[in-house]
Structure 1
């Protein structure tokens, strides 16, 4: 078997594009096509069917793709492992995090880590939960942080932080003088929610449904800062992690009330590939997070 031909096949199927595979390997598209043809000739079995723009795998092709994926994931692991020995003076940790954790929790840990390991370069990319999980599965980061439990056999998922979900209100809102809120207090209120399809939004929907509470949700935002600004302006009320609104609560711009009968908590998880090489600096950071 020719590993170069296998890589052509793997990348073309992975990206569903011959041209994408050619660009990644800096070769021509006909060279990719020829490599896949030779791989099929070697195994004496068809691996792909061309259906319009899509590449549909045969049963043999599907099995080979799964094997190729494991091979090139291990190849990436080997590169990562050896890179640590290649240049001991320069260390690097690549992190992905969901918006809430990346903006409001992680900077504090990075600052503490930087004091202990000033020579380690840390890069943080804030992404959607889904993208963080995908990057972790595909070994495109060293470590990820998400706000929902991940059940994937390729990943280690460790609960690290739990934060109360509170309802934030403008100080002049009719409910702002209460000491706490019951689910029934939300009846008829305009609730500003995070973007559609988020785990957080599902949690709130489940709470309202369980208590037979009807609210209006005409507005959704993709980030926490926009939600806080809208509530400050009197547009409505919003459920949010307490730490996310800590500055505004402390300054008096917002009021935060707990849900008494059914308190909610948002749990954050640290995830990384089970076969990921844990370098010295990465292990040090993981230990810091778990303290």
Structure 2
């Protein structure tokens, strides 16, 4: 690998890489502020069966866990719109094109400014961790070491 330091949301299986957790996050449901669900603080998965979900087109463990959650709760999951980036998913939610389950850290700003509304889903408990990855046994460049030190202190 020609890698000094990278950030990913899963522990790599490659024995040549080591992972250090730097952030904890969770998946959350977001809706347009004018959406009917925006008036609710909390919903059950069963209440989401008629919603249009804007999904991330990238396969991931988190996408699989959301699909499994809906299946366990015998609730339809309609994902007719798949987008390649979280940014495009956010824009579609803001335009009222559907709802989405995304990492909270990716929508914190929009929620704080009232551009999206977060709605708690009782059964949705999918933690998400972000890791720095580096080559096992390799000495990190000074800047990368300092970044790791600063993030550990936070």
TM-score by length of 2: 0.90
2:43–2:121 CA contact under 8 A, matched in 1: yes
1:257 aligned to which of 111, 119, 131? 119
Q: Which has the larger radius of gyration?
A: 1
Q: Which structure: greater strand fraction?
A: 2
Separation in 2, partners of 1:212, 1:227: 25
Q: How many equivalent pairs are there?
A: 153
Name structure 2 gaps, 5 residues minimum: none
1:141 corresponds in structure 2 to 3
TM superposition shift of 1:233: 1.1
Separation in 2, partners of 1:172, 1:281: 45
1:233 corresponds in structure 2 to 95
2:6–2:134 CA contact under 8 A, matched in 1: yes
What is the 5 A alignment of 1:98-117?
Answer: none
Separation in 2, partners of 1:158, 1:284: 14
TM superposition shift of 1:156: 0.8
Confirm or deny that 1:204 pairs with 2:66.
yes
Runs (4 or more) in structure 1 with deviation over 6 Å come to none
Distance 1:170 1:283, change over 3 A: same
Q: Which structure: greater helix fraction?
A: 1
Separation in 2, partners of 1:144, 1:242: 21
Confirm or deny that 1:157 pairs with 2:13.
no
TM superposition shift of 1:222: 1.0
2:143 corresponds in structure 1 to 281
Deviations 1:69-103 (Å, cap 9, x if unpaired)?
xxxxxxxxxxxxxxxxxxxxxxxxxxxxxxxxxxx
Separation in 1, partners of 2:144, 2:37: 46
TM superposition shift of 1:270: 1.2
Separation in 2, partners of 1:216, 1:279: 46
Separation in 1, partners of 2:123, 2:100: 18
1:146–1:268 CA contact under 8 A, matched in 2: yes
Deviations 1:243-274 (Å, cap 9, x if unpaired)?
21122212212101122233222211111111
1:17 corresponds in structure 2 to none
Name structure 1 gaps, 5 residues minimum: 1-137
RMSD: 1.6
- Secondary structure of residue in 2 paired with 1:176: helix
Separation in 2, partners of 1:268, 1:235: 29
TM superposition shift of 1:234: 1.0
Deviations 1:117-152 (Å, cap 9, x if unpaired)?
xxxxxxxxxxxxxxxxxxxxx1x2210110122222
TM superposition shift of 1:277: 2.1
Distance 1:211 1:149, change over 3 A: farther
TM-score by length of 1: 0.50
